[in-house]
Amino acid sequence: MTFEEVVQFHGHSCPGLALGYRVTALVLKELGGRAHDEELVAIVENNSCAVDAVQAMAGCTFGKGNLIFKDYGKQAYTFIRRSDGEAVRISVKWTPPPDSEEEKVMWDRYAAGDRSQEVVQVVQSRKTRKMEGVLKASDNELFKVEHVDVPLPEPARIYKSVTCSVCGETVMEPKTSRRGEDYVCLPCAEKN
């Protein structure tokens, strides 16, 4: 996929998406092609824009069960080829260019909710500069790449659907709390 195709999937271009694009392009060179089913597993350690590139390019998705999310807040991605267990962990080591004093002020204003034209223009310019830096940098500048030994995750499982006796919504059986013969979904179990 081209970066433009990944942008179309994601909805906008940004530095995080560019990082995900570069990570995934590198891993596809290392481990082979896109997963049509579960041939490739991705373990992502963040829920940033980068993960959309992983889904679009590598074919690793929550729905197929070959995208595993570990909420560590790290720009790190481990990919495992199921056929032989070969695994690569890619972590981002790139340091973006420093912000100017004006960019720091505008970013603080943006983070506080200011969406004035003045602020958005500076923030977008900053994002574009960082994104272009990611797209132009070498793999060595961007990433630490390690071939690692990790346990192969179980293939995706399909569970029986049951009805919550409190709210009436369908839920997968292992995500319920049993109350006698009744199934109670976790949100309802937490309330009662």
Task: Read off the pLDDT band of 158 (50, 70, 90).
Answer: confident
pLDDT tops 90 at residue 154: no
pTM above 0.95, yes or no: no
pLDDT, position 157: 84
**CB 185, CB 167: distance < 8 Å:** yes
Instruction: Tell me whether domains 1-94+139-155 and 161-191 share a fold.
Output: no
Stronger pLDDT, 155 or 134, i.e. the higher one:
134
pLDDT, position 156: 84
Residue 58: Cβ within 10 Å count: 27
**CB 75, CB 50: distance < 8 Å:** yes
CATH architecture designation of domain 1-94+139-155: 2-Layer Sandwich (3.30)
Across residues 176-182, what is the average pLDDT? 91
pLDDT tops 90 at residue 155: no
**Mean pLDDT of all residues in the chain?**
95
Percentage of the chain exceeding pLDDT 70: 100
CA distance 108 to 112: 6
Domain parsing of the chain, residue ranges: 1-94+139-155, 96-136, 161-191
pLDDT, position 13: 94
pLDDT, position 31: 94
pLDDT digits (tens, 9 = 90+) for 95-151: 988 999 999 999 999 999 999 999 999 999 999 999 999 999 999 999 999 999 999
pLDDT tops 80 at residue 192: no
pLDDT, position 97: 87
Residue 7 tokens read as 């942008």
Fold (topology level) of 161-191:
Wheat Germ Agglutinin (Isolectin 2); domain 1 (3.30.60)
pLDDT digits (tens, 9 = 90+) for 43-60: 999 999 999 999 999 999
**CB 103, CB 111: distance < 8 Å:** no
Tell me the three state secondary structure of residue 142.
helix
